[in-house]
Amino acid sequence: LTGTSREQRAFQYLLAHAIPGDPHHILQTFDQWCYHCEHLSCVGPDKGRIVERVLLERAPLRVLELGTYCGYGTVLLAQGLPPGARLYTIEADPRHAAVAEKVIRLAGFSEQTVELIVGPSEEVIPRLREKHGLMNANLVFMDHWKRSYLRDLRLLESHQLLAEGATILADNVLFPGAPHFLQYAKTCGKYHCKVHRASLEY
């Protein structure tokens, strides 16, 4: 009825209530909107703590996020990066990317720290090295279409974009579920797998 999307309405709420340049407060304000106004498929605070723990343990210098959406996960990842690290995030939907770009910059992250790439992951991944300068990633966060998880993991492997000892963190593999991805990760012999139990966001 308003002619604006849920994502745009959430951003307007951020502009009105969040502290610019404060990533933690940006995420808290996002959570308030999602709990009390409209549901968005963001990572949310419960699963966010798992992401924060992995970042703290791994201290990755090169991070790749598949599925930027509104930028919630991007801000979550960026605020946990060690000094000098860089985050590349890919979003297929230009409308979501436009919102995410504003959210990321509102949180205080420059293009030197966070690069947002717009386009389908299967087209962007093969160009990451030559076009965007990503030699390989220490951490990959998958939070896009579940049916794309396995395809994109294999693309990352075939283009040698995974650093030795890289961590793949994939959201919602049990529900809505990414069974082929999960089976491959468990049986291909390349990965040690751990399932983190969590509730659905909000």
Q: Check: CB of residue 74 under 8 Å from CB of residue 100.
A: yes
Q: Which of 7, 47, 138, 172 is catalytic?
A: 172
* Distance from C-alpha of 47 to C-alpha of 171, rounded to nearest angstrom: 9
> Is the peptide bond between 45 and the residue preceding it cis, with omega within 30 degrees of 0?
no
Catalytic residue among 31, 91, 146, 152: 146
Alpha helices in the chain (DSSP H): 6-17, 23-36, 44-58, 72-79, 94-106, 121-124, 128-132, 149-158, 179-187
146 belongs to the catalytic site: yes
Q: Which of 7, 31, 65, 143 is catalytic?
A: 143
201 is catalytic: yes
3-state DSSP helix/strand/coil percent for the chain, to nearest 5? 50, 15, 35
Nearest to 26 by CA among 42, 41, 38: 42
Sorted by sequence, the CB contacts under 8 Å of residue 164 that are 6+ apart come out as none
Please pick, among 123, 171, 186, 190, the residue that the annotation labels catalytic: 171
The closest of 164, 148, 150 to 58, measured between CA atoms, is 164
CB 136 within 8 A of CB 44: no
Q: Which residues are catalytic?
A: 143, 146, 171-172, 201
